[in-house]
């Protein structure tokens, strides 16, 4: 979790894309079972366009901490229970600042994953987010992590419960995740926390965007490599013909989902644009820049950092981005960050690169102003599987 290991310059741009391409092959090894009855598309569309998707009201979570001496782990009942028992308890970890934590702002970290199929485990969430949370503590912020629906401890024990092509379950999982983020936000504010910010990665960035369009109590939001809408280009890159054609056969369904709140461009934030930061990877094949650029325009051109990286190279190396993000958050949370920019560079963003010999190294102090005037980079069609 040190420096960001890949640059989009020179020989490393193809390498960054290659890593993303390999990730696509790993995720799409099997042909999806396409049955209009099991897709439940019409039910999903009705739910997404109805008033029950993300209601206006939100009650604070009933948070309980584990009895362990660390007091790190917490849990609470989901505000949107479903028929899967494992998924009805929300789990998280709470990293307190020393002293009276209630007097310090909170940064809620939202992990990546798959909203439809879930994930049984992640080393990045277990260890990587813990390092980022401790950096938050050193900067004077509390930090918390949340396990998204059907992920990690919430993954169903019974086989066949989750599916990447059950659109109704996916829609319900997204609604559940947004309600849980809002419930935790309400609890933190009720406890006296002066400000709450979200920092989401990939799927977590999508959920952060979904939430900030309906939650005006948030002080700030950082969306790193966010999913914005569906991504047909991912299917085109699958090497197995039968699998590729099966995923391509779902485009009609995803085009309909893009007309719903699943598409972040259909909604507008409930907080000022000065408190929103978008982070895109210019070499990203999983969440490419084009939809993020469209979102940037439609959301009034908030701050945006365009980093020359792929999805995986940036996702696996968020530690190098933590310092700049915390410095961006500090004035928005009304709490000066303790960590200072290297050598007094007030607006420096840590830039990671690789030497032409292929030995990866961290190149610091590159200037990428977090403004609407940051340099544009090549764009790719966004995809989401």
**Alpha-carbon torsion, ordered 161, 165, 171, 172, to 10 deg:** -10
User: Chain-wide mean pLDDT for the chain?
Assistant: 83
Residues 119-178 have pLDDT tens digits of: 766 777 778 899 999 999 999 999 999 999 999 999 988 877 777 789 999 999 999 999
Instruction: Identify the CA nearest to 9 among candidates 382, 375, 347, 316.
Output: 375
Q: Is the pLDDT of residue 264 over 90?
A: yes
**Cα-based distances in Å from 308 to 217, 230, 367:** 33, 22, 13
Tell me the longest C-alpha to C-alpha distance in the chain: 60
Mention every residue, 6+ apart, whose C-beta is less than 8 A from residue 382: 228, 229, 230, 231, 233, 287, 288, 289, 290, 291, 292
30 confidence band (pLDDT: 50, 70, 90) = confident
* Strand pairing class (220-224; 196-201): parallel
Distance from C-alpha of 214 to C-alpha of 198, rounded to nearest angstrom: 13
What pLDDT, on a 0 to 100 scale, did the predictor assign at position 372?
34
pLDDT digits (tens, 9 = 90+) for 96-129: 998 889 999 999 999 998 887 777 667 777 788 9
Give the pair of three-digit tokens for residue 195.
């400000």
- Ordered by start, the domain boundaries in the chain are 12-367
* Between 1 and 296, residue with greater pLDDT: 296
38 band by pLDDT with thresholds 50, 70 and 90? confident
Query: Which residue(s) pair with 222 in the sheet?
Result: 199, 277
Kindly state the average pLDDT of the residues 251-278: 96
Q: Is 185:95 a contact under the CB 8 Å cutoff?
A: no
pLDDT at 120: 61
pLDDT at 188 over 70: yes
Bridge-based pairing of strands 89-95 and 64-65 is: unpaired
pLDDT at 37 over 80: no
Bigger pLDDT: 342 vs 68: 68
pLDDT single digits (tens) 307-327 = 999 999 998 888 889 999 999
* pLDDT the model gives residue 121: 64
pLDDT above 80 for 373: no
When pLDDT is averaged across residues 35-50 and rounded to a whole number, the result is: 90
Q: What is the CATH number of domain 12-367?
A: 3.40.50.1820
List pLDDT tens digits, range 360-370: 233 233 333 33
């Amino acid at each position: 979790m040190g420096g960001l290991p890949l640059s989009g310059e020179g020989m490393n741009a193809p390498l960054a894309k290659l890593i993303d391409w390999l990730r696509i092959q790993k995720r799409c090894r099997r042909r999806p079972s396409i049955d209009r009855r099991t897709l439940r598309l019409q039910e999903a569309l009705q739910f997404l366009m109805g008033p029950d998707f993300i209601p206006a009201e939100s009650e604070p979570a009933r948070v309980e901490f584990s009895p362990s001496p660390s007091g790190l782990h917490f849990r609470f009942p989901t505000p949107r229970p479903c028929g899967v028992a494992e998924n009805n308890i929300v789990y998280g970890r709470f990293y307190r600042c020393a002293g009276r934590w209630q007097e310090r702002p909170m940064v809620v970290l939202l992990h990546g994953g798959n909203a439809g199929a879930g994930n049984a485990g992640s080393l990045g969430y277990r260890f990587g987010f813990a390092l980022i949370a401790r950096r938050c503590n050193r900067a004077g912020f509390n930090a918390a992590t949340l396990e998204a629906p059907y992920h990690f401890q919430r993954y169903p024990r019974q086989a066949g419960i989750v599916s990447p092509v059950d659109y109704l379950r996916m829609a319900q999982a997204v609604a559940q995740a947004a309600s849980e983020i809002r419930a935790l936000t309400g609890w933190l504010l009720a406890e006296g926390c002066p400000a709450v910010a979200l920092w989401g990665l990939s799927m977590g960035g999508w959920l952060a965007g979904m939430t900030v369009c309906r939650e005006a109590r948030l002080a700030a939001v950082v969306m790193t490599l966010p999913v914005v809408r569906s991504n047909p280009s991912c299917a085109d890159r699958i090497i197995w013909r039968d699998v590729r054609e099966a995923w391509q056969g779902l485009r009609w369904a995803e085009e309909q989902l893009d007309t719903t709140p699943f598409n972040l461009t259909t909604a507008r934030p409930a907080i000022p644009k000065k408190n929103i930061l978008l982070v895109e990877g210019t070499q990203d094949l999983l969440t490419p820049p084009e939809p993020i650029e469209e979102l940037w325009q439609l959301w009034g051109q908030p701050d945006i950092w365009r980093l020359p990286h792929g999805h995986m190279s940036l996702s696996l190396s968020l530690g190098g981005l933590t310092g700049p993000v915390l410095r961006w958050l500090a004035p928005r949370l009304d709490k000066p960050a303790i960590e200072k920019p290297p050598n007094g560079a007030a607006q420096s963003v840590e830039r990671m690169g690789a030497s032409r010999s292929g030995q990866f190294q961290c190149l610091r102090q590159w200037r990428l102003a977090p403004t609407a005037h940051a340099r544009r980079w090549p764009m790719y069609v966004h995809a989401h599987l």
